Amino acid sequence: VTRKGNSTNLLGNAISIGSTMPSVELVDSGTMKSVDLSQEKGKILFLSIVPSIDTKVCEEQTHYLGEKGDHLPPNVERITISRDTPFAHRRFAEEAKLTDIRYLSDYREGRFGLATGLLTEDLRLLARSIIIIDQTGIVRYIQVVPEQTHLPDMEKAFASANSLAK
Protein backbone atom coordinates (compact mmCIF):
# COMPACT_ATOMS: atom_id res chain seq x y z
CA VAL A 1 0.00 0.00 0.00
CA THR A 2 0.99 3.63 -0.28
CA ARG A 3 0.46 6.71 1.85
CA LYS A 4 0.67 9.96 -0.10
CA GLY A 5 2.45 8.01 -2.83
CA ASN A 6 5.10 6.49 -0.53
CA SER A 7 5.10 2.69 -0.36
CA THR A 8 4.95 0.75 2.86
CA ASN A 9 4.91 -2.99 3.41
CA LEU A 10 2.16 -4.84 5.21
CA LEU A 11 3.32 -7.21 7.93
CA GLY A 12 1.80 -10.49 9.06
CA ASN A 13 -0.28 -13.18 7.42
CA ALA A 14 -2.82 -11.80 4.96
CA ILE A 15 -6.26 -13.30 5.36
CA SER A 16 -8.25 -14.06 2.24
CA ILE A 17 -11.82 -14.53 1.15
CA GLY A 18 -13.01 -17.94 2.29
CA SER A 19 -10.68 -18.13 5.27
CA THR A 20 -11.82 -18.02 8.88
CA MET A 21 -11.20 -14.97 10.98
CA PRO A 22 -8.00 -15.56 12.97
CA SER A 23 -8.28 -15.85 16.73
CA VAL A 24 -6.80 -12.69 18.22
CA GLU A 25 -7.72 -10.46 21.13
CA LEU A 26 -8.88 -6.90 20.64
CA VAL A 27 -10.09 -4.53 23.36
CA ASP A 28 -13.72 -3.41 23.26
CA SER A 29 -13.43 0.34 23.78
CA GLY A 30 -16.81 0.54 25.48
CA THR A 31 -16.26 -2.17 28.08
CA MET A 32 -12.44 -2.49 28.15
CA LYS A 33 -12.94 -6.27 27.88
CA SER A 34 -11.08 -8.58 25.52
CA VAL A 35 -12.90 -9.60 22.36
CA ASP A 36 -12.05 -12.37 19.90
CA LEU A 37 -13.95 -11.85 16.64
CA SER A 38 -13.34 -15.47 15.60
CA GLN A 39 -15.70 -16.46 18.42
CA GLU A 40 -18.55 -14.16 17.40
CA LYS A 41 -20.96 -16.21 15.34
CA GLY A 42 -24.58 -15.70 14.31
CA LYS A 43 -24.27 -12.19 12.90
CA ILE A 44 -22.48 -10.54 10.02
CA LEU A 45 -19.47 -8.48 11.09
CA PHE A 46 -18.73 -5.36 9.04
CA LEU A 47 -15.16 -4.40 9.99
CA SER A 48 -14.14 -0.88 9.04
CA ILE A 49 -10.40 -0.73 9.69
CA VAL A 50 -8.70 2.65 9.96
CA PRO A 51 -5.12 3.79 10.70
CA SER A 52 -6.10 6.42 13.30
CA ILE A 53 -9.54 7.66 14.29
CA ASP A 54 -8.11 11.17 14.73
CA THR A 55 -7.31 11.77 11.06
CA LYS A 56 -9.58 13.36 8.48
CA VAL A 57 -9.99 10.33 6.19
CA CYS A 58 -10.47 7.90 9.09
CA GLU A 59 -13.07 10.20 10.59
CA GLU A 60 -14.83 10.41 7.21
CA GLN A 61 -14.81 6.61 6.86
CA THR A 62 -16.24 6.16 10.35
CA HIS A 63 -18.94 8.79 9.77
CA TYR A 64 -19.84 7.03 6.51
CA LEU A 65 -20.17 3.72 8.36
CA GLY A 66 -22.19 5.26 11.17
CA GLU A 67 -24.48 7.53 9.16
CA LYS A 68 -24.98 5.73 5.86
CA GLY A 69 -24.67 2.26 7.36
CA ASP A 70 -27.90 2.74 9.30
CA HIS A 71 -29.77 1.06 6.43
CA LEU A 72 -27.93 -2.23 6.97
CA PRO A 73 -30.06 -5.07 8.39
CA PRO A 74 -30.03 -5.52 12.19
CA ASN A 75 -27.98 -8.74 11.93
CA VAL A 76 -25.03 -6.74 10.53
CA GLU A 77 -22.81 -5.41 13.31
CA ARG A 78 -20.78 -2.34 12.36
CA ILE A 79 -17.33 -2.27 13.94
CA THR A 80 -14.47 0.22 13.65
CA ILE A 81 -11.00 -1.14 14.43
CA SER A 82 -7.78 0.85 14.85
CA ARG A 83 -4.66 0.93 16.99
CA ASP A 84 -5.96 4.00 18.83
CA THR A 85 -6.49 3.63 22.55
CA PRO A 86 -9.97 2.75 23.80
CA PHE A 87 -10.10 6.20 25.41
CA ALA A 88 -9.58 7.89 22.03
CA HIS A 89 -12.35 5.71 20.56
CA ARG A 90 -14.78 6.65 23.32
CA ARG A 91 -14.00 10.36 23.00
CA PHE A 92 -14.45 10.20 19.23
CA ALA A 93 -17.73 8.27 19.47
CA GLU A 94 -19.19 10.77 21.93
CA GLU A 95 -17.99 13.89 20.08
CA ALA A 96 -19.11 12.55 16.68
CA LYS A 97 -22.38 11.18 18.11
CA LEU A 98 -21.56 7.79 16.57
CA THR A 99 -22.27 5.56 19.53
CA ASP A 100 -24.15 2.91 17.53
CA ILE A 101 -20.87 1.57 16.14
CA ARG A 102 -18.74 -0.85 18.15
CA TYR A 103 -15.12 0.28 18.52
CA LEU A 104 -12.34 -2.26 18.96
CA SER A 105 -8.72 -1.41 19.68
CA ASP A 106 -5.55 -3.22 18.63
CA TYR A 107 -3.43 -0.79 20.64
CA ARG A 108 -1.51 -3.27 22.77
CA GLU A 109 0.74 -5.17 20.40
CA GLY A 110 -0.83 -4.97 16.96
CA ARG A 111 -1.76 -8.66 17.02
CA PHE A 112 -4.91 -8.13 14.96
CA GLY A 113 -2.84 -6.30 12.33
CA LEU A 114 -0.30 -9.12 12.19
CA ALA A 115 -2.97 -11.85 12.18
CA THR A 116 -4.75 -10.24 9.21
CA GLY A 117 -1.69 -8.96 7.35
CA LEU A 118 -2.80 -5.35 7.80
CA LEU A 119 -0.08 -3.90 10.04
CA THR A 120 1.92 -1.26 8.18
CA GLU A 121 5.65 -1.61 8.56
CA ASP A 122 6.49 2.10 8.76
CA LEU A 123 4.06 3.55 11.30
CA ARG A 124 2.79 0.27 12.79
CA LEU A 125 -0.78 1.37 12.13
CA LEU A 126 -3.49 -0.68 10.48
CA ALA A 127 -3.98 -0.38 6.73
CA ARG A 128 -7.28 1.20 5.70
CA SER A 129 -9.56 -1.67 4.77
CA ILE A 130 -12.95 -3.33 4.99
CA ILE A 131 -13.51 -6.95 5.98
CA ILE A 132 -16.93 -8.58 6.08
CA ILE A 133 -17.35 -11.84 7.96
CA ASP A 134 -20.44 -14.02 7.59
CA GLN A 135 -22.52 -15.56 10.37
CA THR A 136 -20.28 -18.64 10.51
CA GLY A 137 -17.00 -16.70 10.88
CA ILE A 138 -15.87 -16.95 7.24
CA VAL A 139 -14.36 -13.90 5.51
CA ARG A 140 -16.60 -13.04 2.54
CA TYR A 141 -15.32 -9.62 1.48
CA ILE A 142 -12.02 -7.77 1.73
CA GLN A 143 -10.91 -4.43 0.39
CA VAL A 144 -7.47 -3.13 1.31
CA VAL A 145 -7.28 0.43 0.03
CA PRO A 146 -4.14 0.78 -2.12
CA GLU A 147 -3.63 4.48 -1.31
CA GLN A 148 -4.26 4.99 2.40
CA THR A 149 -5.40 8.61 2.00
CA HIS A 150 -8.42 7.39 -0.02
CA LEU A 151 -11.68 5.98 1.28
CA PRO A 152 -12.69 2.38 0.64
CA ASP A 153 -15.68 1.70 -1.62
CA MET A 154 -18.21 1.75 1.21
CA GLU A 155 -21.23 1.28 -1.09
CA LYS A 156 -19.72 -1.92 -2.53
CA ALA A 157 -19.05 -3.16 1.01
CA PHE A 158 -22.61 -2.29 2.08
CA ALA A 159 -23.93 -4.25 -0.91
CA SER A 160 -21.80 -7.25 0.09
CA ALA A 161 -23.09 -7.13 3.69
CA ASN A 162 -26.68 -6.78 2.46
CA SER A 163 -26.36 -9.80 0.17
CA LEU A 164 -25.06 -11.91 3.07
CA ALA A 165 -27.96 -10.79 5.28
CA LYS A 166 -30.62 -12.16 2.91
- Residues serving a catalytic function are 58
Q: Measured on CA atoms in the order 12, 15, 19, 21, is the torsion positive or negative?
A: positive
CA-based nearest residue to 149, from 65, 56, 72, 81: 56
112's enclosing H/E stretch is helix 111-116
CA-based nearest residue to 82, from 57, 67, 73: 57
Q: Are 9 and 121 in contact (CB under 8 A)?
A: yes
